Every structure is written in structure tokens, then in C-alpha cells.
Amino acid sequence: MAYKPKAAPVMAAPNVIPMADIMLVLLIIFMVVTPMLQKGISVDLARVDSPLDKPDADKDDSIIVAVTPDGATYLGSSKIPRDQITAQVRDLISARLDKTVFIKSDARSRYGDVVAVVDEIRAAGVDQLGLLTERNEKSSRPAPTGGN
């Protein structure tokens, strides 16, 4: 009688332990990296119905000034006094062709604080100034129609 090799028995359930380990490692990586993706300080931007897209604000070398609800100003992620904004922005834009600065202000910030920051940035010789906002979510109401 000849030896006839037998195939291994078919597994009824796949082994998901290695897959679960990989998923947990990926989850941890995303949890660590995601906060680093945001540029500057986090503020609740004002919501508007028809904002213009500002793709240049997402670039790594863009200059972003943030105004918090308590009136504090941040250049990138470092807090700076308001009277130093002009000098620091002037230093940052001196060697650049694109002299655009973006302001992201909290929706609860005082209007006077934002205007004072805009004045300081304009005094630095900025060509273009962008105000960053968020788009309102669409309401569930149907759009009005022009019928008789």
C-alpha cells in the first residue's frame, strides 16, 4: 500500500488576531499624527453661507495669524503680543514673492481685536489678507422654486 499524503483540514474560521493587531497599531498611529496635521492653534471659525476656497492656506509655508475669543494672538502655534505682529510678519514675508497672510479668528472674538490684528498685519506691508471661515452645513429646508 502506497503512502498517500493527506491535505490539512480546512479551517472553519480565519485567524483575525494578526489583523486586529495591525488595526490597533494603525489606530494609534492616526491618533498620534492627526493633531499634528492642524496648522497653528485651534479656533472655532465663523460660519458663512458662501465662502471662497483658499487652498493656499493649507500649504506648509503659509502664514496664519489666529485670534482667540479672549483676544490673544498666535502666529502659527506660538503666542505673540499684538505689538510684535508687525515686526514678525514683516520678517516672514520679506523674502517671499507671495505676501499673503491668513487670519483665522474665533467666531466669538471681539470685532475690535480682529480689526487691530488686521491693522498690524497691513502695517507689515502685506499685499493680500485672507480671512478663514467655515461653510455652513446645508439646511434640510427645500430650496425655493420660482413657480407661478
Residues 27-68: tens digit of each pLDDT: 999 888 877 766 677 788 888 887 777 777 777 778 889 999
Counted domains in the chain: 1
State the cell numbers at 31.
491618533
Mean pLDDT of the chain: 83
Residue 87: band (very low, low, confident or very high) from pLDDT cuts 50, 70, 90: very high
Q: Is the pTM of this model over 0.85?
A: no
φ/ψ region of 36 (left if φ > 0, alpha if ψ in -120 to 50, else beta) reads alpha
- Domain that residue 78 falls in: 47-135
Q: Residue 143: inside a domain, yes or no?
A: no
Q: Residue 56: inside a domain, yes or no?
A: yes
Q: Using only C-alpha atoms, what is the Rg of the chain?
A: 26
